[in-house]
Amino acid sequence: MRLKFDEQLDLLNKELIKMGAFCESAIAMSAKALTEGNPALAKGVPDLSVQIDNKEREIENMCIKLLLHQQPVAKDLRVVSSALKMVTDMARIGDQSADIAEIVTLANINSANDTQIIHDMSVAVIKMVTDSIDAFVKKDIQMAKAVIDYDDVVDSFFDKIKNILIDFFSKPETDGEYAIDLLMIAKYFERIGDHAVNIAKWVLFSITGNKEGK
C-alpha cells in the first residue's frame, strides 16, 4: 500500500513539474511578445493558459483520488493538500500571463527602452516560479524560503518601473494609455511573483506543517 502511495506521489510531482513548465513558458512568451512588440506571438499565450487549466484539473483529480483511496498519514496529507493549493496559484499565473498577452495584442508597445526592465522583471519572476516548484519536489525548505525572500527583487523592479512611468507622465508628449498599459503589465508580473511566494509557503507547510517553515 505504501509503495503504491509513493508511486502516486512521484507521479504527482512529475505532473506539477509539467504544469510549472507550462507556467514558465506562458510567462516567457508574454514577456518576449512585449519586448519584441509581437502581437502574433502574444496570441499563443492563451493556448498555454488552457493547457495550464487542464493540468490543474488533472492534478486536482489525482489529489482527490489519493485522499479518498490511500488514507494518507498526517505528513502525506499535508503534501497532497499543499499540492491542491499550489495548482490554484499556478492556474492564476497562467491567467495573468494571458492578461499580459492580451494587453500586448491590443496595445502598440514596441519600445525596447521601455520594455527591457519589464523583461528583466519577468526573468526574475520565472526564477521564482521554477524554484518554488523545485522546492516542493525536492522538499527543500531553504529553497522555498529563498523564493519568498527573492520577491523583494521583483518588488524592486516594480518600484523602478513606477518611477520610470512617473517621469514618463511628466513629459508633455506623453501617451497616457501607453504608460498605463506598461504599468498594468508590470503589475501582473508582480502578482505572478506573489503567487510564487504563495506556492513557496505551501511548500513550507507541506514539510513543516507551518507556512513560515518553523
Q: What is the mean pLDDT of residues 79-95?
A: 95
> In 3-state terms, what secondary structure has residue 43?
coil
pLDDT surpassing 90 at residue 71:
no
Query: Are 205 and 199 contacting, i.e. CB atoms less than 8 angstroms apart?
Result: no
- Among 92, 73, 56, smallest CA distance to 6 is for 73
119 C-beta neighbours (distance < 10 Å), count: 16
Rounded CA-CA distance 14/8 in Å is 10
pLDDT surpassing 90 at residue 37:
no
pLDDT digit string, tens, across residues 145-158: 999 999 999 999 99
pLDDT surpassing 60 at residue 111:
no
**Alpha helices per DSSP H over 107-213:** 112-138, 141-169, 176-208
SS3 percent helix, strand, coil of the chain, rounded to 5, is 85, 0, 15
Which residue type is seen at 198?
N
Q: What is the mean pLDDT of residues 88-110?
A: 90
pLDDT surpassing 60 at residue 41:
yes
Report the pLDDT value the prediction gives residue 73, as an integer from 0 to 100: 76
Report the pLDDT value the prediction gives residue 110, as an integer from 0 to 100: 59
Q: Which domains does the chain have, with CATH numbers?
A: 2-208 (1.20.58.220)
Q: What is the mean pLDDT of residues 85-113?
A: 87
Contacts of 179 (CB under 8 A, 6+ apart): 165, 168, 169
Banded model confidence at residue 86, pLDDT cuts 50, 70, 90: very high
Q: What is the mean pLDDT of residues 196-207?
A: 96
Report the pLDDT value the prediction gives residue 112, as an integer from 0 to 100: 53
Which residue type is seen at 4?
K
> 112-138 and 141-169 are packed helices; what angle lies between their axes, rounded to 10 degrees?
170
Average pLDDT over all residues of the chain: 90
Q: What is the mean pLDDT of residues 117-135?
A: 94
Q: What is the mean pLDDT of residues 101-117?
A: 77
Banded model confidence at residue 44, pLDDT cuts 50, 70, 90: very high
pTM across the whole model: 0.91
pLDDT digit string, tens, across residues 164-201: 888 877 777 766 788 888 899 999 999 999 999 999 99
Query: Are 129 and 196 contacting, i.e. CB atoms less than 8 angstroms apart?
Result: yes
